[in-house]
Amino acid sequence: MSRFDTLSVARRVKASRTMQTLVFVWGTLLAAVVITLIVTPWQQNVMGSGRVIAFSPLEREQMIQAPLAGRILRWYVQEGSVVKKGDPIADLSDNDPEYLTRLRQERETLVGQLNLAQNRAFSLELRIQDLDLAQRSAVEGADARLRGVVDKLNGVQQDIRADEAALATARLNRDRQQALGESGLTSTRNRELADLTFQKAETDLAKDRARLREVVNEQSALKAERERIAAAAREGVNNARASYQSALESVQKLKADLIKLDVQLARQSLQQVKAPRNGTILRLDTFAESQYIKAGDVLAVLVPDTEDRAVEIFVKGNDIPLITPGREVRLQFEGWPALQFVGWPSVAVGTFRGKVTLVDSTDDGKGKFRVVVTPSENWPEPRYLRQGVRANGWVLLNQVSLGYELWRQFNGFPPALPEESMPIEEKKDAQPIQRKAKK
């Protein structure tokens, strides 16, 4: 059979109608699947799990500790009790029942010593003022005496100048009388009187010079006396000031001891442990009444009342670079019926919206990072959503086609970053990959 005959026979053979229908159906389905994968949007996400917490650390679980060592006398609460701020939790008793009384007596003694030290400091302050006044008075008296000596010195110096002038006059008169006597023009008596006057002038001058030396010596003595008086007065003032500073140190030391004693009294007075805020007693440690406890032992665990709730979820380190504050999160709470569609959050039922508020800068020691999510809408009431309830969270990322998402997961690629958050170099590297994915 020739080649042309074979082709002619093949043209005459027709596929059955059933086969044609199957081919058409499968081809249509394949085309529909391809179109669906290209057209259908898919929301990329990062999943994490965690629990409900209070957003403020002060409103999370708090340990109520024993403020002193002693014994438990009485419990006022049980597990699950609702308390308000200031409500009693338990009564404690010190091992030494008289310890508080002795502390109060010691405080009274310290207060008495403090009063005595303050009075002594006040007396020394008055003494310093008196010594200052006495010093000024003594120095002023010495200065007055010194001024008197200076005036006397000036008077003596004036007398000396007068004596010197009188001596010069007496010498001229004597010389003149001697010359006249030799010529016979004056009597012997006049010469004798001139000699007597000259000798008297010399004597007066010698006396005044002796007085000048005495006054100068007196002035030096008064200056030395003034310095001695001033030095003695300064020494007395300095000694008083030193005693005053010592008294002030004693006052400050006694005040410090009194503060320490007041702290001990305050601790011993806290024999009734009270609730620090409104909340619910979660757990009581098994301390039976009359059992010895140490300071710092945990008596109870309090869960504060709060409506400021948040969720902490833990995410793998591979996905943490994609999560930034402000991203939307869908949350599913334990015990709350929900139907979650990961890729289509808009059709999810029973999930709640939140936003990323905080991303820890380091892991928890196991390679996971904590992400804190706060509400973006009303969450269930606190009685339904208590602290510690487990939750699953999906941090929403980019919206891509379903086909691209399947291709990404098949190849094991990470979710794509938004272009505005990518560095320029990464954008250049990511563009060929995205174009290839679209093709």
Q: What is the CATH number of domain 43-56+306-438?
A: 2.40.30.170
Residue 256 has pLDDT above 80, yes or no: yes
Q: Please tell me the pTM assigned to this model.
A: 0.46
Q: How far are the Cα atoms of 133, 144, 148, 306, 398 from residue 140, in angstroms, in the given order?
A: 11, 6, 12, 78, 96
CB 37 within 8 A of CB 52: no
Same fold, 43-56+306-438 and 62-94+272-302: no
Per-residue pLDDT tens for 285-315? 766 666 778 878 888 888 887 777 889 999 9
Spatial separation of the C-alpha atoms in residues 176 and 181, rounded to whole Å: 9
In order of 279, 284, 304, 309, 385, the CA distances from 80 in angstroms are: 10, 9, 12, 20, 16
Instruction: Indicate the range of 177-181, 290-294, 316-320 predicted with least confidence.
Output: 290-294
CATH number of the structural domain 99-269: 1.10.287.620
Percent of the chain topping pLDDT 90: 3
pLDDT per residue as tens digits for the range 30-58: 777 777 666 666 677 788 899 988 887 77
Tokens of 340: 């979650």
What is the predicted pLDDT for the residue at 312?
Answer: 92
Alpha helices in 49-187 (DSSP H): 99-183
The CATH code belonging to domain 62-94+272-302 is 2.40.50.100
* Percent of the chain whose predicted confidence (pLDDT) is above 70: 78
Domain positions in the chain: 1-39, 43-56+306-438, 62-94+272-302, 99-269
